Structure formats: C-alpha cells, structure tokens
Amino acid sequence: VRPYSRRRPLALSVHGPPGVGKSLAHALLAGALYNASEGADCPGSACPAYRVVFGADYTAQEREVQLVALRNALTGHLSRHPQALVVIEEYDKMDCAVRGVVRSLLDGGLTTTARGRYASSGGGGGVGEAALAEAFVGAAGAPAAQVSFADAIFVLESNVGYLEIYGDAEAQAANGSAALSAELYDRKLKDAVFGAWLRQGCESRVDSQRLLGLIDAFVPFAPLGRAHLEALAAKRLEARAARERALGRFELSWARGELEAHLASRAEYDADGGWAIEGAKEMDTIFSRHVSRPLRAWADARGIAEADAAAEAEADTARWRRRALEEAVAGALQVVTAAGREALHAAGALPPAGEEPSTGDAVTAGRNTVAPQEPLPHVRLEVVNGRVRAVDDDA
C-alpha cells in the first residue's frame, strides 16, 4: 500500500451569522499553527504566513486588474510561505472569474511568472479551466514556474447557509432535538453554496461542483443567544476587576448574575428574542457604555487617575478577554470535538480546564508591579432603574 501523500491544500468552509466567532477561530488557529506567544502581533509580524483576503475586494468594475491583483497577492504570499494560512472572507460574494483563481489554487498550484497580465476569455460565458490557464501569461513570454501550495491551509468564510443554521438552532431550542451530524451539516451547507453559485449563472455546473469538491469540510457556527452574551459579560467583568487591582486603583465588585443579564439585554435580538442579531459584536460598545463610563466617572470624582501602567496591564489581560470570547462562542458551535478542544488547550489557545483569571492576583508574573500596601477603595456596579451605577462599596 502506497503511503498517503496530500497533493493539495487543506480547505475549510466556515459558515454562520455575523459576530459568532468565525474570524476569532482562524486567528486562534494561526496562533496555534505558528506558535505565537500571548499578546503577539498575529496577524502581523508574529504570524507572517497568516493572510486574510476579502473576496468582495476583487469584484470591482476593472475586473481584469482585480484578477491580476488577487492572483499576484495570493501566489506571491504562498510562494514566500508554503505553509501559509490563507483566509478568504465573504468568498460567496466572489464572481466566477475570481472563484476560478481560487479553484486553481485549491487544485494543487497555479503556474506563475515574474510578470503577468490577464487575457480575457471574452464573451459572456463562464470562466473555465482552459480560460484560466490562458488568463495569466508572461509579459515577455518567459517560461512559467509551478508553485506548489499543498502544505497550505485555506479557510473560506461565508454567510451562505446561515438560515439552515438558524433553523437547526431553533429546533434544538424549541424541542430539545439533537444537533445535526457533521455529515448532514456538510451536505446542507454544500447544497446552499452550490445553489447560490448556480443562481449567478456565470459558470458551468461542472466548475462549481469541482470547487466544492476541493473543500474538505463545511463547518457551521451557530448563533449566539442571551446565555452566551451573559457568559461573555461575566468573563469581561472578571478581567476588568483583575486589571484594576493590578494597577492598584480599586477593588471592583458587582451584583453577580444581575449585571451580566443587564449587559446581555442591551444587545439587539431577533423578533423572537432568542438570538443576538450581531452576535457578540455589540459587546464592546455595550461594555464601554455601561461599565467603563460609570467606573470612569466614579474614579474621576475621587481623584483616581488613570495609571501610567494602564496599557501594560491591558496587554496582560487582553489574552483573557480573547479566551473569554472563545469560550463563549465555543458553546454555540455545532461541531466541536473533545479532541479539538484538547488540541486548543495543548496549543495554549485555551486556558487549562478550570483556570480563569484570578481576581486575587494583585501582581502579574514577571512584572515589577508591587501589590499596594494601602487598602484599595472599593466600588460596586449596581443596576438601578435600568441603568448601571458605580457606588462606593464599604463591604
């Protein structure tokens, strides 16, 4: 038996409504793949092989120029980083010509030259493989060089299929039915993408089916409900309390359960009130308005200025906010395996089971911050008549 040798990139198609963790998931994946340390610039200098491309950016009127831009951007990046993680967001919005470029990449490589131009296939028909093969030709007739992308990973983001995902989530919430299997979800999402592409009518069924066949898995991200946003609010409050203590500014407490529910209630939900329309995207604004502002007003009234070390402490606790969001959305994923979570724990993308930012740690390890000798002032966040107030807490 000949050993298995993969000859094309790994391709994952992720689906779901906005704000449910799709972008966070591939950011965590990049951090694990490239062993980026906590707080590292990723995407950025710590993960140079991590590249995010927006499919909608390449559908402008100057299509030929856009095709060359996409082709050069992707092949140049993959040539420099054969083990790249390439994310194409909103890939369902790409036109047929751009999809053809992606199809060629996923099919194991694309012939490249130092310089190239797009040769229009002409007419109003679809863009097939033959047209793509002639699309990029050397400006001076130089021989093309074959670049292999077999070790790369492609993550294709799409909102197509979110109605099917919502429907399954509603069924589970209404009657307690089990989530669909990975195989059924794979089929439903693949059919949804195929139908959307057929309605465009700009390429043959064979080309559409071929691209879908090059995608290894279709992964659904379920919508977030109130319970998920409450869990996220709780984690962020814990992180804020740890930050203020580390800065030696004040001790923070709150009406546990009540404040989290109030913060989650400020998000916009669908007509039935079950699912957050923007997922967790609104939580930054909500937290700033209903937590940070009252605390700032309370501190200003008592002459407690922002500490010079604020930025440093913020960097220390940013990892917990990041992990808190991942924990919140992980509960809404329809396909999360125990092995997958174990891999995230092992890679450091999740804290060890049961480990959370301790509100009792006054000093961050490795820092020169010394626990304050004087007792810190205490402030408590309370919900009064539908508004959050920061009041002195003498407890």
Q: For the segment 229-259, what is each residue's pLDDT rounded down to a tens digit?
A: 999 999 999 999 999 998 889 999 999 999 9
Query: What pLDDT was estimated at residue 305?
Result: 78
pLDDT level of residue 70 (50, 70, 90 thresholds): confident
Instruction: List CB contacts of 298: < 8 A, sequence separation 6 or more.
Output: 379, 390, 391
391: pLDDT strictly greater than 80: yes
If you compute the radius of gyration of the chain from its CA atoms, what whole number of angstroms results?
A: 25
Look at residue 282 and give its three-state secondary structure: coil
Between 118 and 356, where is the model more confident? 356
pLDDT level of residue 146 (50, 70, 90 thresholds): low
10-118+143-220: CATH topology: Rossmann fold (3.40.50)
362: pLDDT strictly greater than 50: no
363: pLDDT strictly greater than 90: no
344: pLDDT strictly greater than 70: no
Query: Which of 359-393 are b and which e, b meaning 16 or more Cβ less than 10 Å from the residue's Cβ?
Result: beebebeeeebeeeeeebeebbbbbeeeebebeeb
378: pLDDT strictly greater than 50: yes
What stretches of the chain show up as alpha helix (H) in DSSP?
Answer: 22-33, 63-80, 96-106, 129-135, 162-175, 182-200, 205-213, 226-246, 258-265, 283-287, 293-301, 310-330, 338-347
Query: What pLDDT was estimated at residue 357?
Result: 44
CA distance 293 to 387: 12
User: Across 152-166, 188-202, 264-278, 289-303, which has the greatest mean pLDDT?
Assistant: 289-303
Query: What pLDDT was estimated at residue 85?
Result: 93
Are 261 and 2 in contact by the 8 Å Cβ rule? The answer is: no
Query: What pLDDT was estimated at residue 141?
Result: 42
Query: What pLDDT was estimated at residue 65?
Result: 73
pLDDT level of residue 161 (50, 70, 90 thresholds): confident
Query: What pLDDT was estimated at residue 291?
Result: 96
Nearest to 391 by CA among 306, 297, 262: 297
Query: What pLDDT was estimated at residue 294?
Result: 95
Query: What pLDDT was estimated at residue 178?
Result: 65
Q: What is the mean pLDDT of the chain?
A: 75
Over residues 248-272, mean pLDDT: 93
Query: What pLDDT was estimated at residue 89?
Result: 86
Query: What pLDDT was estimated at residue 335?
Result: 40
Tens digits of per-residue pLDDT, 72-94? 888 888 888 988 999 988 887 77
Query: What pLDDT was estimated at residue 49?
Result: 92
Q: Which two tokens stand for residue 249?
A: 């500014």
pLDDT level of residue 345 (50, 70, 90 thresholds): low
Over residues 199-220, mean pLDDT: 89
Are 108 and 148 in contact by the 8 Å Cβ rule? The answer is: yes
- CATH 3.40.50.12190-classified regions of the chain: 10-118+143-220
Classify burial at 177, counting beta carbons within 10 Å of its beta carbon; exposed 0-12, middle 13-18, buried 19 or more: exposed
266: pLDDT strictly greater than 90: yes
CA distance 128 to 126: 6
Ranges 44-48, 63-67, 281-285: which has the least confidence: 63-67
Q: Which amino acid is at 341?
A: R
Query: What pLDDT was estimated at residue 122?
Result: 34
